[in-house]
A and B are shown apart, each in its own frame.
Chain A
Amino acid sequence: DAGVIQSPRHEVTEMGQEVTLRCKPISGHNSLFWYRQTMMRGLELLIYFNNNVPIDDSGMPEDRFSAKMPNASFSTLKIQPSEPRDSAVYFCASSLRGVRKTQYFGPGTRLLVL
C-alpha cells in the first residue's frame, strides 16, 4: 500500500497568492482529516470528512481556508489569499471508521508564505 499521498511536499509562495494542497487517502479508507502543525500551536485539526462529506470544519481558522473532497480518493485544502501566519506543515490523514479508527498520516506539505 502506498500510504497517504500528499502534494506538493514543499511550497514557497508570496503573501496574497492562492495555495492548493492535495491529498490522496489510503484506498478503502472512508475518513479523511486535515491537520496543521506549528511550533506555537502544535497539531491542530482543521477539518475532516466521512464518506466524502465534511463533518466538522470548526478548526478552519478563517474563510480564507476551504477544503473539498470530490471523491473517495482525492481531497484539496485551499488557502486564498495566503498570509505569512499560514506557514506550517499541513498533514492529511485517513482512517477506516470502526472500533480502532487509527489515523494514518501522509508525509505532509511544508508551506512557507513570504
Chain B
Amino acid sequence: ELKVEQNPLFLSMQEGKNYTIYCNYSTTSDRLYWYRQDPGKSLESLFVLLSNGAVKQEGRLMASLDTKARLSTLHITAAVHDLSATYFCAVDREGGGADGLTFGKGTHLIIQP
C-alpha cells in the first residue's frame, strides 16, 4: 500500500522565519505534487516535480525532490501571514503511469505576526 507521510502536521511560526515541510513516500514514483488549501476552499496546485533533483520556486516557496530517498521538501523563506494554509504533498498512486493521487495528511501552517 502506498503511503505518503508529511511532517510536521502542525506548524506555527513567526513572520520572517524560515522553515521546511517534509514529505516521505513509499513508492518508486518520480512524480510528486504540492497543493495548498485555504480553510473551506479547494486545492490549488503549487508545484509539480517530475524527476530526481527537480527544484521549483515560486515566491517564498521552494520545492525539491529526491527520488532515491523518496523525499520531497517544501521550504518557506521569510514567511508572511498570507502563506498560512494547509499544504499537501501527493504522489501518483502506483507510480510510473497510473493517475490517481495519494495525498499526505497535510501540514497545517499558521504564520503569526
B99's contact among A31, A43, A91, by CB below 8 Å, is which?
Answer: A31
- Which residues of the partner chain A approach B33 to less than 8 Å between Cβ atoms? 102-103
Q: How far is the CA of A50 from the CA of B98 in the complex (A)?
A: 10
Interface residues of B in 82-113 (CB under 8 A from A): 88, 90, 92-93, 98-106
- Listed by A's residue number, 19 A-B pairs whose Cβ atoms lie within 8 Å are A42-B104, A43-B90, A45-B93, A45-B100, A45-B101, A48-B99, A48-B100, A50-B99, A55-B98, A55-B99, A56-B98, A95-B99, A99-B50, A101-B31, A102-B45, A103-B101, A104-B45, A105-B35, A107-B42
Q: How far is A59 from B102 in the complex, measured between Cα atoms in Å?
A: 11
CA distance A105 to B45 in the complex (A): 8
Known: A33-B101, A91-B42, A105-B43. 9 other contacts (CB 8 A): A31-B99, A45-B100, A48-B100, A95-B99, A100-B50, A102-B48, A103-B33, A104-B45, A105-B42
Q: A33-B99, A103-B101 are in contact. Are A42 and B48 (CB under 8 A)?
A: no
Residues of B within 8 A of A95 (CB): 99
- The number of residues on chain B lying at the interface, defined by a beta carbon within 8 Å of a beta carbon of chain A, is 23
Which residues of chain A are near B35, meaning CB under 8 Å? 105
- Kindly name the residue among A45, A55, A108 whose own CB sees the greatest number of chain B CB atoms within 10 A: A45
**Contact-residue size bin, chain A (C-beta under 8 Å from the other chain):** 20 to 34
Shortest CB–CB separation between residue B102 and chain A, in angstroms?
7
A-B CB proximity, top 10 nearest: A43-B103, A45-B100, A105-B43, A105-B42, A42-B105, A107-B42, A48-B100, A100-B48, A102-B45, A102-B48
A100 contact set on B, CB distance < 8 A: 48, 50
Q: Is A97 among interface residues, defined by CB-CB distance under 8 A?
A: yes
How many whole Å from B25's CB to the nearest CB in chain A? 14
Select one of A43, A45, A48 contacting B88, CB under 8 A: A43
Q: How far is the CB of A3 from chain B (nearest CB, A)?
A: 9
